[in-house]
């Protein structure tokens, strides 16, 4: 049976992981958090002192995921998206969060001031939405609000309906 691949992207702290895990448990699709994968497999290419975090080796990430993506049925969660092959995804969801809500979430994570400011600006200027529309066909890129629990539930329901419809359309 053919299953769709879904990309969840957006600024750190918008709720990609919460949404991805919830979707995976309700849809049976496989959930992959690229940050966790990189940590487990050491898919890094150095360290960024300024942001106090390792630098992702994008080519190795793509190599690592390619077979699973070809098989389908994968939900990928990452804050960047321009290095993934376009053919991988059937739909892309960019999560958006009000900056005051996002600020609190990132502060709770202990982000340093520069990292906090840059991520808030990233959200204000829709950097990841623009990256997504530049990297994928515009009709498959959708923005979802991600501020409160009701929106999470609504997003899960909407995406589950989309998955169900996609499976019907591609397996009949």
Residue 148 is predicted with a pLDDT of: 96
Domains and CATH numbers, the chain: 5-165 (3.40.50.300)
User: Is 110 annotated as belonging to a binding site?
Assistant: no
Instruction: Give the separation between CA 164 and CA 109, rounded to whole angstroms.
Output: 35
Residue 50 is predicted with a pLDDT of: 87
User: Is 148 annotated as belonging to a binding site?
Assistant: yes
pTM listed for this prediction: 0.96
Assess contact for 1 and 168: CB atoms under 8 A.
no
Q: How far is CA 91 from CA 8, 22, 31, 51, 58, in A?
A: 9, 17, 15, 30, 20
13 dihedral zone (left: phi>0; alpha: psi -120 to 50; beta): left
Residue holding tokens 């769709």?
4
User: Is 13 annotated as belonging to a binding site?
Assistant: yes
pLDDT tens per residue, the chain (172 residues)? 999 999 999 999 999 999 999 999 999 999 999 999 999 999 999 999 988 889 999 999 999 999 999 999 999 999 999 999 999 999 999 999 999 999 999 999 999 999 999 999 999 999 999 999 999 999 999 999 999 999 999 999 999 999 999 999 999 8
Residue 123 is predicted with a pLDDT of: 97
User: Is 80 annotated as belonging to a binding site?
Assistant: no
User: Is 15 annotated as belonging to a binding site?
Assistant: yes
């Amino acid at each position: 049976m053919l299953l769709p691949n879904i990309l969840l992207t957006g600024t750190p702290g918008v709720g990609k992981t919460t949404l991805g895990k919830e979707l995976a448990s309700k849809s049976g699709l496989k959930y992959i958090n690229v940050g966790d994968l990189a940590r487990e497999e050491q898919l890094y290419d150095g360290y960024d002192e300024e942001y106090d975090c390792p630098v992702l080796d994008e080519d190795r990430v793509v190599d690592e995921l390619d077979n699973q993506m070809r098989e389908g049925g994968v939900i990928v969660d990452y804050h960047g998206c321009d290095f993934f092959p376009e053919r991988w995804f059937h739909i892309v969801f960019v999560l958006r969060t009000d900056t005051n809500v996002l600020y609190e979430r990132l502060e709770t994570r202990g982000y340093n001031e520069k990292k906090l400011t840059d991520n808030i600006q990233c959200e204000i200027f829709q950097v990841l939405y623009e990256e997504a529309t530049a990297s994928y066909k515009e009709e498959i890129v959708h923005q979802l609000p991600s501020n409160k629990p009701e929106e999470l539930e609504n997003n899960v329901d909407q995406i589950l309906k989309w998955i169900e419809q996609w499976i019907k359309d591609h397996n009949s």
